[in-house]
Chains A and B, each alone.
Chain A
Amino acid sequence: MSKVKRPGLWTVIFTIISIGYMFPIVLVVINSFKDKVFISSQPFSLPNSETFVGLANYARGVQLTEFFSSFGWSLIITVGSTALILLCTSMTAWWIVRADNKYAKTLYSAFLLNLVVPFQMVMFTLSWLTDFLHLGNPFGLWIVYLGFGAGLAVFIFTGFVKSIPHEIEEAATIDGCGPVRTFFQVVLPIMRPSVVTVAILEVMWLWNDYLLPYLTLDMKKFKTIPIAVQYLKGGYGSVDMGAMMGILVLAMIPVIVFYLVAQRHIISGVVAGAVKG
């Protein structure tokens, strides 16, 4: 927008701040290569010939937490839930705006209520209900996440649908399209920007969610990455700091890759979501 007086100086200042900002992550990476006894005693020193252990921490962490199966379950839950949420709630949101009857209005109010309710309010009863309905597996969680996440997705989608001119859809109707064809062939392509927004927000939430899967999944069979990390702390009295550092690094790698690949979409998705939300 505006020019600063000394651009070079600002670049230097922000470079220093940015390096400082990344320091916590760098520190974890450094310590992931050190023997566990030296992590607590000298966290800020670089690994040397005495403390360096190569990939031993990673190997032990992966083994203790069954990291790769956690990665798989996290992926299945995140991708499946996001896809289901996008499909179902975009249909619902469009229908709510266009049908605009008493049922649609009641439904919309219920979704708004869902937006403000903290998870603690339903945590006990939801975990009982998923257990009762045998949904305590990664595929069952698709439905649970669709249910608990519906409010935000419907809210963003309805905001977007309201900005779409009605005439295009009417033209499709005159050409003989029913609501289903109108939605999938005409409306959904127009909704693409908001679909990306919702997808980004859902992925950021679902991939990192801890409590809901922890309370609903059958822990003997399924763990997600956040659960695996927490399990390392909880399961063994004193924490194996070496394994912990290895797992923390492994847990961050997919996130950083995702960020580097989809950075532009993530930032614009967050902005669009915030304006609508």
Chain B
Amino acid sequence: MYEHLETAENPDKLKRVVIDPVSRVEGHGKVTLLLDENDQVKQARLHIVEFRGFERFIQGRPYWELPVLVQRLCGICPVSHHLAAGKAIDQLVGVDPENLPIAATHLRKLLHFGQVLQSHALHFFHLASPDLLFGFDSDIAKRNIIGVIGAHPDIALQGVKLRKYGQEVIRVVSGKRVHGTAAIPGGMNKPLSTTDRDYLLTDIDQIIAWTSSAVALVKQLHCSNRSFYDEFASIPSHYMGLIQTDGALELYHGGLRAKDTNGAVIFDHVDYCKYNDYIHEQVKSWTYMKFPYLLSLGKENGWYRVGPLARVNNCDFIGTPLAEAARIDFKQHFESPQVHSTLAFHWARMIEALHCAESIKQLLNDPVTLSTVLVTQGEKRFEGVGVIEAPRGTLFHHYQIDENDIVTRANLIVSTTSNNTAMNESVRQVAATYLNGRELNEALLNNLEVAIRAYDPCLSCATHAMGKMPLAVELVDNEGKIVDRLVKSSSGHIAAA
């Protein structure tokens, strides 16, 4: 729709505005705008400026190391990488998902629901709520989690405790909050004790109540400014993700389903081990992140979205009662076969958080979850594919090993990569709609970041050194000369530089 803004005809003659890095997202990306003499946007791009080299990190390692090793790829969703690797490695030891011990599947799902719950809570309450509660153009000094805590302490505290609960689920199942060991080839490494089960059950009804309130809050936000929420950064797109055999929402294991902009099925219940027959990736020179597309629709038209909005759009129903009621309400609000509002990601995200909370309760109350039969074995294979619905969308891990059990080839498609074209389209839509012809300032530029944040992108991994994340906005004239420059420090202070 806005692809004409991907590449300008005469970039050297245009003014250049850079947002670097994009804030309140995980990792390092930047946005560049090229403007003509009338401040009309001629080009808008989200660039990923960091090369991660995931595959190189994995190749040459013995396969059994991978579930622990890949957790270090990402500080935000290590459990998703852990479980995707675990599923791939099951296949290397000859165990297909349906043959995994039921208790092992339950424990992996429990771990996964805890991960998705804490990740969704972190994103909504910590990263997105400052924009949504205060306004996209509100005082930047207060547009952060501390501002939210000051103005809405109950909301903020519940966000903290939802996140903490999810982390506790992870700690109990895997032994640690990070670097834990849970999935092993063919199963799980330790059972859930009744003491731990009871500990997690203590607060689960409160967690369900809070996630229900979060869904209501997002709906309230949408209804308070309906046309704006429906249209901001909205782009018609295809959607892809895992689905259960009966069409229910699925986060841990299922077949691949893709639907088009009108909700018609493109493919359904595809064995994800054959993903390469359905999805290819395109490379562009101006970013390190690839552009996946649905092979049947081609490079130009085959881009798609993944993540909470895709999953809620794609499923026929949700298997837990409160989340299903919330899904029906969500669909009725938009009155269309597919919801394309980018800000609706937040609503879908909270519906999923509610589903996770309900599912955690179900799993904890199922006696099978406490079983100690956790591991099985099969006959060695040389190739394994593990796919999971990570918080941000479908995550692929694909390994090949040699006769010495060393990984010779690895291919990862991470969720944010699948949303690459969509994020760029949203950036272009916002640039064309809200920035054209206007004098740029921080509040206007924040619109671009709000659109990107809705996807909850994970642009990098867990490198963390204090004081390394300034933001600079440069205005460059037609001849490439910098005419203005603003710098936002890590404390949020903005000054001319």
A and B assemble together: no
